[in-house]
Amino acid sequence: MLIKNLRLEAIPNLEITDRISRALELMHDLHIRHVAITRGNEFVGLCSEDVLMELDENLTFEEIESSLLRVSVKDDDHFLNAVSLAANYHLTIIPVTDDAHHLVATIESNQLLKSISDFLHLKEPAGMVVLEVDSQQYSFSEISKIVEANDAQITQLNTTKNNNEGTMEVTVCVNKLEISDIVATFQRYDYIVKYYFGEELYTNELKDNYENLMNYLNI
């Protein structure tokens, strides 16, 4: 999904000659912590509420230009680029600029959350298995074969390396909720199953609670 496919917001921006007090008022009214600053149509940078609160409200942005955050995305970037910027800089809005570095739109970070949900198919019923595997032995094709052998399809797969351990976490989302057969097959192939979520999780919890109760009554 590209930036231009998102719903871009018409959030007001400020001119480089505006004062800090105007930005703080705008942030308060719109419930955001960042405002885009321009010089004409040119994007100059983002001002941050945290920084502005420590400065004289009568200063103009021209006087504090060096403190502005110069980050933006293009409309033909993948939307995950905007997600990365929002996460790395704790942004509430993300500027969208053209090739001439003109400000053309802004994206609210809340809109990115919805885009992530759509991208990960979170609205669709799904099961999830989190595996721990040796980084050198990771095989997407083998994981895929195990899932497909249990009449399911992978809808999303993400990997995260564990620091200094030589292992990685593999999160596998599949298109069915009852995944006990998939979990059992992974375990049979000596995969470490760290977590799993699906319909059978509730049943497993009931079983564990029942067994704990029986053990307690036998004491």
For 55-82, the pLDDT digits (tens) are 999 999 999 999 999 999 998 898 888 8
Residue pointed to by tokens 């003109």: 102
For residues 123 and 146, what is the distance between their CA atoms, to the nearest angstrom?
Answer: 24
The arithmetic mean of pLDDT across residues 137-160, rounded, is 92
Residue listed under structure tokens 């074969």: 145
Query: pLDDT-based confidence at 210, cuts 50/70/90?
Result: very low
Nearest to 83 by CA among 116, 106, 105: 116
**Who wins on pLDDT, 182 or 207?**
182
109-119 and 79-89 helices cross at what angle (nearest 10)? 130
What's 19's DSSP letter? B
Q: What is the dihedral of CA 121, 124, 129, 134, to 10 degrees?
A: -20
Residue of 202, 209, 154 lying closest to 180 (CA atoms): 202
C-alpha to C-alpha distances, 28 to 8, 35, 41, 173, nearest whole angstrom:
21, 11, 24, 40
- DSSP annotation of 181 reads H
Pairing between strand 14-15 and 73-74? unpaired
Q: Which residue has the tokens 């959030």?
A: 11
Residue 159 pLDDT exceeds 60: yes
Structural domains present in the chain: 3-117 (3.10.580.10), 127-218 (3.30.2130.10)
Rounded percentage of the chain residues whose pLDDT exceeds 90: 59
